[in-house]
């Protein structure tokens, strides 16, 4: 059974979490961006300085803002008061890894916020570097782990 479909008339609906217990919930999502060699060569002290400003610092801010706005972007996400959102960006060669960690004491999971934060940070890197090249690839966004609800998850890939 899909949780966002009503049993009676097969219509979309928000999940009712009113009877759930409040627990500590955490999630970790990750996005990866592949930069062309000429842009990757601009990385200095884990940052790219572009005409638009510091790329990775701006991506961290954008990702954090996106986490806080997830319920306005995804129709059936509950609005959640984030207690923590941390975005880390690392580079190894031309591969940029964005890790987004979220935390809340709540009745529903926080993984969509983590996935949104990592995704928007990746898109921000693309946006800030596209004037230098359009050969930038966002190759994946995935949930690494979540905990605190009725089921925990760890991505084994």
Based on the residue annotation, tell me whether 135 is a catalytic residue of this protein.
no
E-assigned strands of the chain? 23-34, 49-50, 53-54, 84-92, 95-106, 137-147, 153-154
Q: Give me the catalytic one of 16, 99, 127, 135.
A: 127
Residues 6 or more apart whose Cβ sits within 8 Å of residue 94: 34, 35, 36, 37, 39, 40
The pair of three-digit structure tokens given for residue 74, joined into one six-digit string: 């995804």
Q: Let me know how long the chain is.
A: 157
The residues that are catalytic are 127
């Amino acid at each position: 059974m899909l949780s966002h479909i009503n049993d009676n008339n097969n219509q979309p609906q928000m999940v009712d979490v009113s009877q759930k217990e409040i627990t500590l919930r955490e999630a970790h999502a990750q996005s990866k961006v592949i930069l062309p060699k000429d842009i990757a060569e601009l990385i200095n002290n884990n940052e790219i300085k572009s005409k638009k400003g510091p790329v990775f610092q701006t991506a961290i801010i954008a990702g954090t803002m996106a986490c806080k706005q997830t319920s306005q972007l995804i129709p059936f996400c509950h609005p959640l008061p984030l207690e923590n959102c941390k975005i880390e960006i690392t580079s190894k060669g031309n591969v940029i890894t964005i890790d987004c960690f979220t935390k809340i004491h709540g009745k529903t999971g926080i993984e969509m916020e983590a996935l949104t934060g990592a995704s928007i940070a990746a898109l921000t890197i693309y946006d800030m570097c596209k004037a230098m090249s359009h050969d930038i690839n966002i190759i994946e966004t995935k949930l690494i782990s979540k905990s605190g609800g009725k089921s925990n998850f760890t991505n084994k890939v």
